[in-house]
Amino acid sequence: MLMIRLRPGAPTLAGLLLVLSSLVQADAAPVPDAQPEPPVEGRYAIESLRVFVETLDRIRSHYVEARDDETLLEDAIEGMVQRLDPHSSYLTGDAYAALQEATEGVFGGIGVEILEEEGRLKVVAPIDGTPAARAGLRPGDWIEAVDGESTAVVGTEAALAQLRGAIGDPVTLTLRRGGEEAAFDVTLTRALIDIPSVNHRWLVPGLAYLRVVQFQTHTGEDLRGALATLREGGPLTGVVLDLRNNPGGVLQSGVAVADAFLDGGLIVETRGRGAGADERYEAQAGDLTGGAPVVVLINEGTASASEIVAGALQDHGRALVLGQRSFGKGSVQTLMPLSESRALKITTARYYTPSGRSIQAQGIVPDLAGQTMRAMAEGERAPREADLPGHLEAVESREAPRFPPFQDEDSLLVEAVRLLQAHQRLRGA
């Protein structure tokens, strides 16, 4: 699940190591008697640095197989970042290149969004129109092996690299699904994955369908183009915005999509500790739909930037949100290049919807609940942010603006009242 804020100018790897070295050396230097002792927290940090350096030296000297310094330091950095949360990572080589390709939307592979969980690979969602979608991969599927090689043995980074390859070459995935005991194989043919970030069509005259597959760098422009094309075919009387199984992507693109449906006001606010982490994103004047009623479709695979869009339109009373509670990834990752082949992707902020809601580990609650027929029949629930080990905890925040609940033993009457309330929301009442 991604929501990336692109930011250049991070310190280099060499710079980080230089800082580490200088800290240890400075502590080893004689300290004048008149100089006060460092704070307790500082002493603990220096002691930990000493332990780190000694551990590095012991491994270099005594481990049964030789390990070069670069490998040991790279592994130490990777382990440090992995312990932060499920969405922070240290990217090198193919992994860094793959993330850059994904944000642009063009790469070779099978077309599936993957999440690493406890050293295993889990399918978040197959991407529409790709080999993974055509082969029937589902959210929540575990990838046990790639071409017969266990992901637990080769490692998740190597397994992810194996999913990409020459166009036209086959790759076999060993999958384990839900409560099924037996794993099974699926063979796919790698293809050029050129993800159209926005699909559009007419459902009936006047009623348009827009599906945002993933938030790439050009998604805002794609959506504006789709709306312009639709409006050439006639007036818009209603829009269905489908964000189901949208894993997120570039933060600024999510803001651009929400902006297209709003005529001003706050879209999202980010709050963090670092410089530039606290930001407010406001909508510009001009609703590109001309104020047409909007229904947003979400499910458990709706995450990150797509939750920003759903939350903003819901808070402004601009759209009715229909479906299932979303994934609940309310954090922003910043991509910080360290060198040409290395980068740090770390969580730098939480985001809040216009009403002040943090959806971290909670998700967007739809105005009207609904399930697909398959989900109802199978009784399955896809994983959410709150299920991930090491996830950021939910924080107290404001509740979504909602209509007063209506309760009655007559379920049909309850549903009728909910529909009337939905109509009121669409009219801005």
**386: which 2 tokens?**
């709150």
pLDDT value at residue 423 = 58
Whether residue 141 is found in the same domain as residue 153: yes
**Among 161, 106, 111, residue whose Cα is nearest residue 132:** 111
Q: Which domain holds residue 339?
A: 198-398
58 falls within a domain:
no
Neighbour tally for 142: CB within 10 Å: 16
Active-site position among 88, 197, 304, 358: 304
Neighbour tally for 374: CB within 10 Å: 9
Whether residue 239 is found in the same domain as residue 361: yes
Q: What is the spatial distance between Cα 427 and Cα 14, in angstroms, rounded to a whole number?
A: 57
Q: How many residues does the chain have?
A: 429
pLDDT value at residue 226 = 97
**83: which 2 tokens?**
């312990």
**Among 321, 303, 325, residue whose Cα is nearest residue 313:** 321
Active-site position among 222, 326, 329, 331: 329
**39: which 2 tokens?**
């704070």
pLDDT value at residue 4 = 63
Residue type at position 200: H
35 falls within a domain:
no
pLDDT value at residue 373 = 37
**286: which 2 tokens?**
């001009």
**Among 403, 363, 358, 364, residue whose Cα is nearest residue 386:** 363
pLDDT value at residue 24 = 47
pLDDT value at residue 9 = 47
Whether residue 172 is found in the same domain as residue 264: no
Q: What is the spatial distance between Cα 429 and Cα 421, in angstroms, rounded to a whole number?
A: 9
Q: What is the spatial distance between Cα 198 and Cα 229, in angstroms, rounded to a whole number?
A: 12
Tell me if residue 345 is catalytic: no
On whether the pTM is more than 0.75, the answer is: no
Whether residue 174 is found in the same domain as residue 278: no
Q: What is the 8-class DSSP label of residue 338?
A: -
Q: What is the spatial distance between Cα 278 and Cα 248, in angstroms, rounded to a whole number?
A: 20
Q: What is the spatial distance between Cα 180 and Cα 357, in angstroms, rounded to a whole number?
A: 37
Q: What is the mean pLDDT of each run of 10 residues along the chain (429 residues)?
A: 53 45 49 53 76 90 92 91 90 77 72 78 83 91 93 82 87 88 92 85 87 92 96 90 89 96 98 92 96 89 94 95 90 90 92 94 86 46 64 65 52 47 56
Whether residue 344 is found in the same domain as residue 300: yes
Residue with token string 């379920």? 411
Q: What is the 8-class DSSP label of residue 10?
A: P
Check which CATH number belongs to the domain holding 372 and give it: 3.90.226.10
Strand, coil or helix: what is 24?
A: helix
Strand, coil or helix: what is 69?
A: helix
Element (H, E) at 178: none
Whether residue 127 is found in the same domain as residue 207: no
Asked if 362 and 315 count as a contact pair (C-beta separation under 8 A), the reply is no
Check which CATH number belongs to the domain holding 110 and give it: 2.30.42.10
Element (H, E) at 281: strand 279-283
323 falls within a domain:
yes
Whether residue 160 is found in the same domain as residue 224: no
Q: What is the spatial distance between Cα 121 and Cα 334, in angstroms, rounded to a whole number?
A: 22
Whether residue 160 is found in the same domain as residue 212: no
Q: What is the spatial distance between Cα 342 and Cα 297, in angstroms, rounded to a whole number?
A: 37
Tell me if residue 287 is catalytic: no
Active-site position among 315, 345, 358, 367: 315
Q: What is the spatial distance between Cα 71 and Cα 66, in angstroms, rounded to a whole number?
A: 10
Strand, coil or helix: what is 238?
A: strand
**Among 99, 141, 136, 74, residue whose Cα is nearest residue 250:** 99
Tell me if residue 315 is catalytic: yes
Instruction: Count up the domains in the chain and report the number.
Output: 2
Residue 156 φ/ψ, nearest 5 degrees: -70, -35
From the number of C-beta atoms within 10 Å of its C-beta (0-12, 13-18, 19+), residue 147 rates as: middle
Whether residue 319 is found in the same domain as residue 296: yes
265 falls within a domain:
yes
Q: How would you classify residue 136: left for phi > 0, otherwise alpha for psi between -120 and 50, otherwise beta?
A: left
pLDDT value at residue 184 = 94
**196: which 2 tokens?**
């159209």
Neighbour tally for 41: CB within 10 Å: 8
